[in-house]
Amino acid sequence: MSLFRKSTTAPLPAPAGSGPAISLDKVPAGLVNLTKSAAVSLDKSGLTGQRAAVYLVLDHSGSMRPFYKDGSVQRLTDQALGLSVNLDDDGTVPVGYFATHAEAMLDVRLDNYQGVIDRTHTAVPWGTTNYVAAMRNVIDEHHLSGATSPAFVIFQTDGAPNDRRATEQMLKDASRLPIFWAFVGFGGRVEFLEKLDDLRGRAVDNASFFHAANPSTVTDAQLYDGLTHEYAGWLAAASAAGIVR
């Protein structure tokens, strides 16, 4: 896992805007502070005004039960919306649960986000940890959306995948796509996520890792810094390589 910010060796693409993609006066009161905190982290990395489609992928393996029960997953969903307000003007974060299989994505919006996890996750079976299915789900979703902006994927999990080699190959293959994977590890089993962060054989470094061992004690600022600190380097490298246009 990288402890310091990776240097940006190529210029960032010109920003599409001058600030948040959605005006703060259109943001629900419960998300305003999150939106502001995300903006500070983006500014630290020179990302103010950049645009991206934000996705959220949520582990629904059996070991994740405590994190759903204590509200940690709902909080991460709120935080994803706060980041999205800065990067994407549609006010929506597609959210996908995954376990043994990946579920169809649901749209979490500014007008329905409160309590959305408790309302929806109970219909999803608990299972194992199939990263590959979850990653394919996002790739297909982003392709079918017709989005012209890159994808910023918050990929949350609390353990290693069913198939490590297939996951590594998937991340290598995906390095030629305009998709950045911000892995977030809940709990203590994060060795594989650390490996993905530094995986060799990719066209560009398309992933980061942030360890939220106890997500209830992680501040919004820490989470946003952890999510965004390698994104600028990827965006510059992917732009130079013609992956992001």
Within-domain flag for 194: yes
Q: Which helix (H) or strand (E) holds 171?
A: helix 164-174
Within-domain flag for 17: no
pLDDT tens, residue by residue, 65-122: 999 999 999 999 999 999 999 999 999 999 999 999 999 999 999 999 999 999 999 9
Within-domain flag for 199: yes
Q: 238-241 — which CB contacts under 8 Å span 24+ positions? A: 238/150, 238/178, 238/180, 238/204, 238/206, 239/10, 239/11, 239/12, 239/13, 240/10, 241/203, 241/204
E strand residue ranges, 38-158: 53-59, 92-98, 106-109, 151-157
pLDDT for the residue numbered 11: 80
Average pLDDT score, the chain: 94
Instruction: Tally Cβ neighbours within 10 Å of residue 30.
Output: 13
CA distance 80 to 83: 5
Instruction: Tell me which residue range forms the domain holding 105.
Output: 32-233
pLDDT tens, residue by residue, 48-59: 999 999 999 999
Within-domain flag for 18: no
Within-domain flag for 239: no
Say which CATH number the domain at 163 has: 3.40.50.410
Within-domain flag for 25: no
Within-domain flag for 225: yes
Number of structural domains, the chain?
A: 1
Within-domain flag for 23: no
pLDDT band at 3 (very low <50, low <70, confident <90, very high): very low
Judge contact between 23 and 209, C-beta under 8 A. Answer: no
Closest CA to 224 of 184, 188, 190, 197: 184
